[in-house]
């Protein structure tokens, strides 16, 4: 019986051709190819040697009893293929992978029904003769040539993907630096302002000490932000083959049914004490896991591991035998996995792929966090922390249909902080900012869960009170005024009286209203309140 383990060579050929690395069978040399025999049974080895002597295109390079002898034969005169009388061991698979030698198996009753993905050609031992052996060896060499070219194509794909991920990493770093620059502006402004106050009051030792405390606080904030910027460097997890990890450990979880692949992976990584490789148990992904290596094969449920890794926000790498590489590469290219590596990949390749995936994942998470902080900054006023005018407009627009649905009355308040010009003349622009911050804090404290205070600009605020009519809104303003009077604003032992003027407009659910008109009416109510004098609360009917 004559058959080959690789019956799907057309798909391999198609993938290699698409990658620009197509190689036909006629390109493979078939003259005087040396075949080494790796035999546990001496009689079988001698029998195969005699058959090879009758083959026209092959010659025997020697008989080896184990992987060490095979390596010696390969080093002496060059070997093009290996003929085995047994299923290859893990060490023999790794050696054949490193030497680039195709394995051809002489099947017996024990191995003929056993799938062995690492074998390129197979021949029934009872049917072995010079013609059939030559045919299987030629087919094994052709298949192995295709696999090697596929490996080169995959390496090229990995190189291109690495360049793309490098660009993504740099883009993420730029985003994070932009966020950090935005965050450093406020403490820097405070620091400069207090230094100016120190020069203005340099003869007052008590004031200078207070200003120094504020300078120290601002300096600490700037130092923290600068440290974050310094941490945004490219993290070299591996440098010249030495795992660095920037002081951190790397936790790898293997999810697969092939124990030999896990054993190979463990042996490759055991020389690195900061890399911890474990095998998955009960389908669970531990919290400390950095990357999940899922076996890509027909007999393993790799899809569920991809879903589990994504749900747990973990990096996912596929490992596959040579024949499964095209499918694994497609999964990576469509973005379902972060990387792919050969099942028997050497140490350098394992480290390169694992650390590269971890680096990209690390910077992607930091960039997402930075973008979230930037988004929150865009939604909130830098000085007071209240929502911005754009968010208030959106909330007012949503409250109109909500009031109609819930059959309730809501109120909108426009608030003006009085005498800001006089405050600025007395304590300067920095003090004015703190006065506005003081009002913003009282607005937050006076607001209930559904209430939404916002700073429109300068000393102008809007407050949305869902479910409260004009009388409740008036009472809300009274409570705010009392809170400010009982806790006056103090700027370095200078007590400042801060008053507010407010205009109120209510909206009864079911009545026609638009966001623009409601907000315009609130501004009109405030204008009439200011005409009546500071501290007035005017309700527009």
CA dihedral sign of residues 259, 260, 261, 264: positive
Q: How far apart are alpha carbons 268 and 354 in whole angstroms?
A: 12
Answer left, alpha or beta for residue 535, where phi above 0 means left and psi between -120 and 50 means alpha. left
Considering only residues 413 and 256, tell me which one the structure prediction assigns the higher pLDDT. 413
Helix (H) or strand (E) run with residue 238 in it: strand 238-239
Model confidence at 366, in pLDDT bands (50, 70, 90)?
A: low
In terms of average pLDDT, the best of 186-190, 227-231, 325-329 is 325-329
| Nearest residue to 313 via CA among 352, 287, 283 | 287
Is the confidence at residue 408, as pLDDT, over 80? yes
Place of tokens 């809007």: 462
Q: How far apart are alpha carbons 237 and 354 in whole angstroms?
A: 10
The three-state secondary structure class of 203 is coil
Query: Which residues have C-beta within 8 Å of that of residue 443, sequence separation ≥ 6?
Result: 384, 386, 415, 453, 461, 463, 480
Stretch 225-240: mean pLDDT: 56
Which of 28-32, 82-86, 125-129, 223-227 is the least confident region? Answer: 28-32
Place of tokens 């913003």: 440
Stretch 251-255: mean pLDDT: 87
**Contacts by residues 110-115 (CB-CB < 8 Å, ≥ 24 positions apart):** 111/86, 111/87, 112/1, 114/87, 115/5
DSSP letter, residue 322: G
Strand partners, 415: 461, 502
| Nearest residue to 540 via CA among 476, 480, 473, 459 | 473
Is the confidence at residue 117, as pLDDT, over 70? no
Helix (H) or strand (E) run with residue 36 in it: strand 33-38
Q: How far is CA 252 from CA 45, 132, 278, 315, in A?
A: 41, 45, 6, 10
Place of tokens 């010009």: 421
Mean of pLDDT over the chain: 76
Q: How far apart are alpha carbons 346 and 156 in whole angstroms?
A: 17
Model confidence at 368, in pLDDT bands (50, 70, 90)?
A: low
Q: How far is CA 73 from CA 30, 32, 61, 85, 101, in A?
A: 20, 16, 7, 17, 12
> In whole angstroms, how large is the CA radius of gyration of the chain?
37
Would you tell me how many other CB atoms lie within 10 Å of the CB of residue 376? 10
Pairing of strands 409-417, 500-508: antiparallel
Would you tell me how many other CB atoms lie within 10 Å of the CB of residue 459? 20
The three-state secondary structure class of 440 is helix
**Contacts by residues 214-221 (CB-CB < 8 Å, ≥ 24 positions apart):** 214/190, 215/191, 217/187, 217/190, 218/187, 218/188, 218/190, 218/191, 218/194, 219/187, 219/191, 221/184, 221/187
Which of 103-107, 365-369, 523-527 is the least confident region? Answer: 365-369
In terms of average pLDDT, the best of 132-146, 242-256, 273-287, 470-484 is 470-484
> Could you give the domains of the chain?
2-153 (3.40.50.2300), 238-376 (3.40.50.2300), 389-539 (3.30.70.270)
Per-residue pLDDT, 234 = 44
The three-state secondary structure class of 83 is strand
Considering only residues 421 and 175, tell me which one the structure prediction assigns the higher pLDDT. 421
DSSP letter, residue 504: E
Considering only residues 35 and 253, tell me which one the structure prediction assigns the higher pLDDT. 253
Stretch 385-410: mean pLDDT: 86
In terms of average pLDDT, the best of 79-83, 146-150, 360-364, 481-485 is 481-485
pTM over cut 0.75: no
Q: How far apart are alpha carbons 431 and 137 in whole angstroms?
A: 87
Per-residue pLDDT, 463 = 93
Per-residue pLDDT, 524 = 92
- Token pair belonging to 111: 């191995």
Model confidence at 31, in pLDDT bands (50, 70, 90)?
A: low
Model confidence at 238, in pLDDT bands (50, 70, 90)?
A: very low
Model confidence at 113, in pLDDT bands (50, 70, 90)?
A: low
- Residues 479-524: pLDDT tens digits? 998 888 888 888 877 788 888 899 999 998 878 888 899 999 999 9
Q: How far apart are alpha carbons 420 and 415 in whole angstroms?
A: 13
Backbone angles phi and psi of 294, in degrees to 5: -105, 135
Q: Considering the chain, what percentage of its residues have pLDDT values greater than 70?
A: 75
Model confidence at 246, in pLDDT bands (50, 70, 90)?
A: very low
Is the confidence at residue 92, as pLDDT, over 60? yes
Per-residue pLDDT, 475 = 92
Per-residue pLDDT, 46 = 80
Is the confidence at residue 414, as pLDDT, over 90? yes
What angle (nearest 5°) sits at the alpha carbon of residue 327, between those of residues 321 and 333?
Answer: 120
């Amino acid at each position: 019986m004559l058959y080959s383990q690789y019956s799907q060579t057309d798909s391999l050929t198609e993938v290699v051709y698409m990658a620009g690395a197509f190689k036909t069978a006629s390109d493979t040399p078939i003259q005087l190819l040396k075949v080494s025999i790796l035999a546990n049974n001496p009689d079988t080895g001698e029998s195969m040697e005699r058959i090879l002597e009758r083959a026209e295109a092959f010659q025997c390079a020697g008989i080896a009893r184990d992987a060490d002898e095979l390596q010696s034969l390969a080093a002496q005169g060059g070997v093009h293929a290996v003929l085995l009388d047994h299923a290859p061991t893990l060490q023999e698979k790794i050696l054949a992978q490193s030497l680039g030698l195709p394995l051809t198996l002489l099947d017996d009753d024990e191995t003929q029904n056993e799938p062995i993905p690492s074998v390129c050609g197979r021949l029934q031992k009872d049917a072995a003769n010079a013609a059939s052996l030559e045919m299987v060896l030629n087919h094994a060499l052709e298949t192995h040539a295709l696999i090697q070219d596929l490996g080169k194509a995959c390496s090229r794909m990995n190189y291109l993907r690495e360049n793309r991920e490098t660009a993504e990493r740099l883009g993420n770093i730029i985003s994070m630096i932009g966020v950090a620059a935005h965050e450093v502006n406020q403490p820097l402004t405070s620091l400069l302002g207090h230094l100016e106050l120190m020069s203005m009051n340099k003869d007052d030792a008590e004031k200078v000490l207070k200003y120094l405390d504020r300078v120290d606080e601002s300096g600490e904030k700037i130092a923290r932000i600068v440290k974050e910027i310094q941490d945004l460097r490219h993290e070299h997890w591996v440098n010249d083959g030495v795992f660095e990890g920037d002081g951190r450990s790397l936790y790898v979880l293997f999810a697969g049914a092939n124990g030999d692949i896990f054993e190979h992976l463990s042996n490759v990584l055991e020389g690195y004490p900061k890399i911890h490789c474990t095998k998955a148990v009960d389908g669970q992904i531990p919290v400390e896991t950095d990357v999940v290596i899922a076996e890509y094969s027909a007999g393993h449920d790799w899809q569920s591991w991809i879903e589990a890794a994504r749900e747990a926000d973990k990096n996912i790498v596929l490992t596959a035998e040579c024949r499964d590489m095209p499918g694994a590469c497609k999964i990576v290219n469509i973005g379902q996995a972060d990387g792919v590596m050969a099942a028997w990949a050497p140490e350098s390749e394992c480290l390169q792929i694992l650390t590269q995936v971890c680096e990209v994942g690390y910077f992607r998470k930091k960039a997402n966090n930075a973008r979230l902080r930037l988004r929150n900054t865009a939604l909130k006023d830098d000085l007071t922390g209240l929502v911005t005018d754009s968010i208030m407009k959106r909330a007012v627009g949503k409250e109109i249909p909500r009031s109609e649905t819930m059959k309730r009355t809501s109120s909108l308040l426009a608030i003006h902080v009085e005498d800001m010009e006089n405050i600025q003349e007395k304590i300067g622009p920095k003090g004015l900012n703190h006065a506005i911050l003081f009002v913003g804090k009282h607005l937050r404290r006076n607001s209930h869960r559904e209430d939404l205070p916002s700073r429109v600009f300068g000393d102008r605020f809007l407050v949305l009170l869902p479910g409260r009519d004009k009388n409740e809104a008036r009472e809300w303003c009274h409570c705010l005024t009392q809170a400010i009077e009982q806790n006056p604003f103090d700027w370095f032992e200078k007590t400042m009286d801060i008053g507010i003027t407010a205009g109120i407009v209510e909206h009864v659910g079911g009545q026609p209203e638009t966001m623009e008109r409601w907000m315009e009416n609130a501004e009109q109510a405030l204008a009439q309140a200011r005409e009546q004098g500071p501290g007035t609360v005017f309700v527009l009917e």
